[in-house]
Amino acid sequence: MKVKITDIQHFSLHDGAGIRTTVFLKGCNLKCPWCANPECISPKIEKGFGMYISLDELETEILKDEPYYQTGGGVTFSGGEPLLQIKDLEPLLKRLNINICFETALFAGEELVKIANEYADELIVDIKMLNPENAKNVLGGNITQFLSNLDFIDLDKVTFRIPVTKYSLDDTTEICNLIRKYPPKKIEIFKLHNLAKRKYEILEKEFYTENITDAQINDFKNQLKEAFDNVEIIEF
């Protein structure tokens, strides 16, 4: 069995607890204009981005970092949308005796979400926007599917990660209400960055920017803290 990836990042510090190995799986069913990993959106190998790797090879790469996992770390499957390949990953998930995390937008079928919840010790769930029309027109996703999937995951595993954009700022009230209904263990918010700009140029795609101020980010954080206390601003 093989899966399609773009990269394996060793000694990662931002994708779950402790020191981690992050595996970036190729292919996504959304089209977020600010995506930090545009090379992971298409399931096709393009412009030198993407490769097939066997589960045995992937396991070897992941376990190279096993001594560092004593920090409480482990492996994080990111993307792209990692749940799209989770059935192919499942034989590996069954034999990995380490902390497992998925970073997911949760716009995936119920069956795939339940598999992720079964094997995950941690889930990083992205909240991008909640307005149904924006979710459809900007992301290409069905917000009803996202909301429904929240009922199938263990919230004590969940970190909500929210990009601060004009869309999330417009949906602040709705996001606060969602957090009250589905309280996670932690919330992380972050400002869009330009680290992926070169990849957009290689892929001949438009690079998305927004002028969000630090004051707007802090105000957003304070409003979220009225719904849930543990909110952190993170930087990549």
The residue segments making up the domain with residue 172 are 2-234
Domains in the chain: how many in total? 1
pLDDT tens readout for residues 162-210: 999 999 999 999 999 999 999 999 999 999 988 899 999 999 999 999 9
Task: Give percent of the chain with pLDDT exceeding 70.
Answer: 100
Residues with Cβ within 8 Å of 75's Cβ and at least 6 positions away in sequence, in order, are 20, 21, 22, 23, 62, 96, 98, 99, 100, 101
pLDDT tens readout for residues 122-150: 999 999 999 999 999 999 999 999 999 99
pLDDT tens readout for residues 66-91: 999 988 999 999 999 999 999 999 99
Q: Which helix (H) or strand (E) holds 98?
A: none
* Range list of β-strands (E), the chain: 2-12, 20-25, 51-54, 74-78, 99-104, 122-126, 158-164, 186-191, 231-234
Residue 235 confidence class, pLDDT cut points 50, 70, 90: confident
Six-digit token string for 15: 């994708």
CATH number at residue 85: 3.20.20.70
pLDDT at 1: 87
